[in-house]
Structure 1
Amino acid sequence: MVRLTRVQQQERTRASVLAAAKVEFVERGYALAKVDRIAERAELTRGAVYSNFPGKRALYLAVLIDLVENAAAGESSAPPVSLADALGAFARIWLERLPLVGDSASGGRLQLRSLDGVLDDERGREVLAQVARLEALLLATTLELYTPAGRRVRLAELVLTLLDGSSHRAETAPGFGDPFDLAHACRHLAGIDLADTWAPPHLPYVSPAEPCADAWEAPTGLADRLGDDQVDLAADGLIAVLGAGRLGAAEEAVRSARPGEQVTLVVVTDDPAETGRLVRLRITDLVGCLRRVFATEAWRHLRLVLDGGSVASAIGLTEPGDATEAAVRVRGGRIVARAQGRGAAHAVATVDGQNVARPPKDTM
């Protein structure tokens, strides 16, 4: 008989819990699902379930993440040649999640990645709003490849609102509406002039970044959620560490960075079991759709890391949480500027090159 290691046993237990939880959520939905029944289905104790997941919401989010990360990738569409084509292709792929008329209500909600009734607290809704702003930015960065001179965040917000609305309608009235009509409508949104500009009123009042010449021990082995490789944090560039409640500030890093400069967005939270899983779910889901439409070249200078604390610790943050907003600039293997608080990424990105601290000569 093969004896399992402790890690292997934990992985097996977790897999059993997830499998049982998926059946429970499909059969009864989130509201009526019970942790006791999930434990019974998995032939485990209630304590075994709670040793892996702190509650039903964390377990539900984990089931959705497992569904999204293990879903068949599907065929990639031909590279879009225009903004309208890009919008239509993205919408068609996103709409593949809509359930069929014969699907069960609970199973359809799972397929839709529905969070209705799940985020029933103020913190959860606030984080979801911030995640939605990051989603819009990521979609916009791809759309802007077709209109380099214009910002397309408002267009991305409009498209995601339309698609999310179709998801809610499919949940309450399965089969209503034609997905092809929705994709066609998204395609025609390219012709709307939203007068989109980037001019946050608080940026002129952001405190300047602090020049420094601090040693930089770059964490390794961190996955880039936008590409297929690991992030090289030792390379020159801007690193913005943002709490789950401050993700809207990601655009400040992207817009303020110098042309061609690598920007790494690092997401942190003090609640990895729920908030961390929520961010991971939504980003993984969106990026999975984007990859089937756009080449990874769309994010050539942008990286996204979901951090367990290593990056935050490396730049000197002792208690990173949802309200964290900090940034550093790395040059020549050292941190040469840092800032913390509202507008930190903008402050570091726009620091005067003459005022940035230079590494000691013996390190250059």
Structure 2
Amino acid sequence: MSENVRSFIVDEDDDGIRLDRWFQRHLPDTGYTRIARWARTGQLRLDGRRALPGARVMAGQSIRVPPIEPDQSDDRPSKPKRAELTAAENEFAQSLVIHRDRDAIIVNKPPGLATQGGTKTHYHLDGLLDALQFDAVSRPKLVHRLDKDTSGVLLLARSANAAGYFSKSFSGRTAHKVYWALVVGVPSIEEGLIDLPLARQPGSGGEKMHVDEENGATAKTLYRIVERAGNAACWLELQPLTGRTHQLRAHLSAIGFPIVGDGKYGGKEAFLTGGISRKMHLHARRLVIPHPNGSSLDVHADLPEHFIESMGLLGFDLENGFDRPLAGEKIALDKESEKIAAGRRARDRRRARRGERRNRSSQKEHDKKR
């Protein structure tokens, strides 16, 4: 059986992970029971030495994987293999790519394509990721999601290390997202902050969010009006400061301006006449996120066809969608402005005190002369 022994070299992306985790990544059909049996009998080795499933592997080490005996079986069923993609599916998936480097792939997800599978959802982006492996050692990994009917920027990590890095950016709020939306009606305030806590709506099976002042999680969204079509509709730029499920949809519906086409949150009021598409008009326009190489990724995604057509019907000019400061930049600018203003106030107080002292001195001199 020795001729069937396999040998693998640990890649840099796997440096520091547990040996059993390495098997999950690269030989997922090998169950833990089998790995433990190999370790117990001395057949599992790192650089020629016996190894336990919990051992940490290092880049460059050699992993000896013994042959699988025909009568051996794991205590869990093997995962079903993914169906091989067709030429059309490969071409479609690759046509979505708008940025690609060593660590990241960014796609412009079309509306109607789910990010991941679920109940009654069998066609999704996750199922197409084999087409986006290119020259990497494994298929890319999802690190965030977009709703099925939301289009735009979606980032994929090309390695486990990159996935961890980008995931920390999303959870740590150093990733900045900008969305464009068409909404029914026009807010009376040109730009502002929607600060309404959100929770899962009872009776919706967890599929819908609602404002819950007592038990909801903090949810904040910056918005500004880009253009308006009378009082019927407007084009909004949105910057979510938190990442709650359906945050933008729930927030805009809660303040009375549902996203055009979002019947789930806006009901019948979410649809416009005059040939405006009934599809949802919410688009992840821009993503700015730190890159593992020390730089910053800043990627824009073009609008889908139905969104562009609706913009034209409403008389909106895409040239007006200029980039304003990101949320983090705006906060920094506000703090700097406040710092400058505070300095000016302190300077004015010092001048006023000096003026008071001079006035008192002048009064004393005047009194002496009298």
The TM-score bracket by the shorter chain reads under 0.3
Point out which structure has higher relative CO (alpha carbons under 8 A, 6+ apart).
1
Higher share in helix? 1
Return the TM-score normalized by structure 2: 0.26
Higher CA-based Rg? 2
Return the TM-score normalized by structure 1: 0.27
